[in-house]
Amino acid sequence: MSWPCLSIGGRETMTIELRDLGRQINAAFDKAKKGRQEWIEGTLELASLLLKARRKFASHNKFSEWCKKTCPDLNHQDRAALINMAKDLSFTRSILEQTKRTAWQNIWYYEIKQPSPRLRIMGLYDLAIRIERLAMRHPAYDQAKPVITQACDTLKLMAEKSNNYTATAWPLEEAGA
């Protein structure tokens, strides 16, 4: 089967590549049905492969048509959720390791796209510490110190009130740390 909307690398090459992607998507889908850790790994692999396949199509309709033929057990809502999850796999992994949910569209909507208040508060204390450390390296730190200190103290107070001191919701990278 060839897709006229694809012109990258010739039709035959793309057909073979899409066939391989289809097989990989189905294998990842099978993994996702198994045990929790394998489910997490399968979900991440499935999300990544779907995003890769989606990027091969200029048209959403052609991609949808291809998916219906290639992986018919995967509905369009789960497919959309997985593609969105693939945009930040490390964050998605941390959410998948914490959640009790198993429906991909619910995980995407409730825990990633619209995080619960629990996730919004989670990690405030650690976030405040990281902000302070990053700010101290900035040349204008002395001028901004009162505002930064007040903001960080507010975050720490919120964390203390919620009894949450670990950062799992915001993987903030420290430059040079």
Amino acid 49: pLDDT: 96
Domain contains 1: no
Amino acid 165: pLDDT: 46
Calculate mean pLDDT across residues 17-39: 86
CA distance 80 to 78: 5
CA-closest candidate to residue 99, choices 29, 42, 169, 164: 169
Amino acid 166: pLDDT: 45
**In terms of pLDDT, which residue wins out, 106 or 33?**
106
Q: For residue 155, what are the domain limits?
A: 119-162
What are 106-123's pLDDT values in tens digits?
A: 999 888 887 555 545 555
110 and 156 share one domain: no
Domain contains 84: yes
Q: Provide the domain count of the chain.
A: 2
pLDDT band at 174; cut points 50, 70, 90: very low
Q: Is there a contact between 5 and 59 (Cβ–Cβ < 8 Å)? A: yes
23 and 51 share one domain: yes
Global pTM reads: 0.53
67 and 123 share one domain: no
CA-closest candidate to residue 83, choices 114, 127, 113, 110: 113
